[in-house]
Amino acid sequence: NSQAMAANHEKHGLLLAAAILLLLLFLLAKLRRRRKKYGGVPLNPPPGPWQLPVIGSMHHLVGALPHRAMRDLALRHGPLMLLRMGELPVVVASSAAAARDVLKTHDAAFATRPRTNTIATLDGDGLGFALAPYGDHWRRVRKLCVTELLGAPRVRSFQGTREAEAAALVASVAAAAASGDVVNVSSLVSTYVVDAAVRVIVGDRIAGRDAFLACLEEGLRLSSGFSLADLFPSSRLARALSRRSRQVEAAAQEMSRVMDGVIEEKRARKAAGNGMGREEEQDILDVLLDGGGTAPLDIGTIRAVVRDLFGAGSESSASTLQWAMAELMRRPAALRRAQAEVRGALAGQSRVREEALQELPYLRLVIKETLRLHATVPLMLPRESREATRVLGYDVPQGTMVLVNAWAIGRDAATFGADAEEFRPERFEEGTAAALDFRGTDFELLPFGAGRRMCPGITFGLAVMELALASLLFHFDWELPGGTVELDMAETFGVTAKMKNDLWLHAAVVVPPL
């Protein structure tokens, strides 16, 4: 009996050892698959939600705007999260600490842009600065933008243009108010921003202006989101079936054709001696055609820079102005304080001049709070890891797309308190929030990004927004249309998160425009 028991124990021991060995083999195989998935290197990837075959994590984003869905997922899985969008590994940073690691600590490692099918098609005949890969070309164009196109002296030289467009905006609102009509604030603000951008970038005498604008807007629309070919870059079938890819290609060709017409018209005027001679009167296209004092730029680069400047300087500023007016209408105390400040500082004046904007600190807080709640580009423009990098203790392999959820970071209760979802400009007058700036040094507030790839047009964008908002508050009193109980604050997703529906308000003239 003792021998039988010993044999039985030995058999059970062998079975247990075999089970343990099989478990170890299973775990090793699973680890090997994970290592293979991340380039054959032992990694500790960021956590993330469960995935499905083929589509990966995309089902978690269905039914919500991406920046909102990713914020909700981050609350469950952490401030650095791994998603898989089809074949694409995507890491999402949703806290100030994660953003600091990506945009400052490892800025050089994440300084390039992913070359998706959509981006490569849009940039097919030339690279600008917004979507260009990191390298010598990007550095040259970026330097040109910062020093020659969007630097403080150049922005100041366009003051007259901005003031003229602001006066046109005020006149349009006054005309609607005089007739008793409800004012479509969204439409008029968009027209103001677009006209200011067009005059500054390509001049105000171009033929085919409407075709030029329509073409650029279509390109911006198509550049948001992913096509099938973006999600499954290794699949020829995905490329063949991607309707969006064909639309992007057609839009890119039309954009090149229209821009060539604008450029040739500009060159013809300059050759005939009708161009502006003095530097302060040059538009940005004049500077690009001159090469900014360096070697001439090729035509594809000029097209791409014009497209990037228009994209950065039009939709984002218009969207911010619409949100600012909507938020002020929902908080009458903030509206009254902003109007009292503007009218007190400009008492006896007939219009707002840019010099007076320095005397309007609360108005600047209104714009700052609007940018916090409604980040200019909610997910920022995507970056890509140029090398394997460790972020918050997790490994991010080379070639991974990285998104920074500026929208979620701006609404983080850990930074902005229990009322982080509320519009309250006064928060920047008190506590730790008072020291926060949005120019790339504080990672709790990133409407314009940070690091090497942050938006170079902050100075111009702020001048456009501050002048328009001050003018609207100085000249008019505003009320919700009769019967409106609560404003519709729904968003629509694109390059920016715009208001889904136009903002309609009643305006009453208080300071008549000249």
| Binding site members | 455
Residue 39 tokens read as 């380039």
Q: Cα(511)–Cα(473) distance, rounded to whole angstroms?
A: 10
Token reading at 228: 């099938």
Contact between 64 and 72 (Cβ < 8 Å): yes
User: Position 147: which residue type?
Assistant: T
Q: Tell me, what DSSP letter sits at residue 103?
A: I
**Binding-site annotation, residues for heme:** 455
**Residue holding tokens 């001679």?**
277
User: What is the signed CA dihedral for 460, 461, 463, 468, rounded to 10 degrees?
Assistant: 140
Separation of CA 365 from chain center:
20
Pick the closest to residue 99 from 410, 355, 332, 434 (CA basis).
Answer: 410
Q: Return d(Cα 146, Cα 81) in angstroms, integer.
A: 33
The H-assigned helical ranges of 179-314 are: 185-201, 209-223, 228-231, 236-241, 243-271, 284-290, 299-313
- Helix H, strand E, coil C: the string for 395-411 is EECCCCEEEECHHHHHC
CB crowding 458-468: b at 16 or more within 10 Å, else e = bebbbbbbbbb
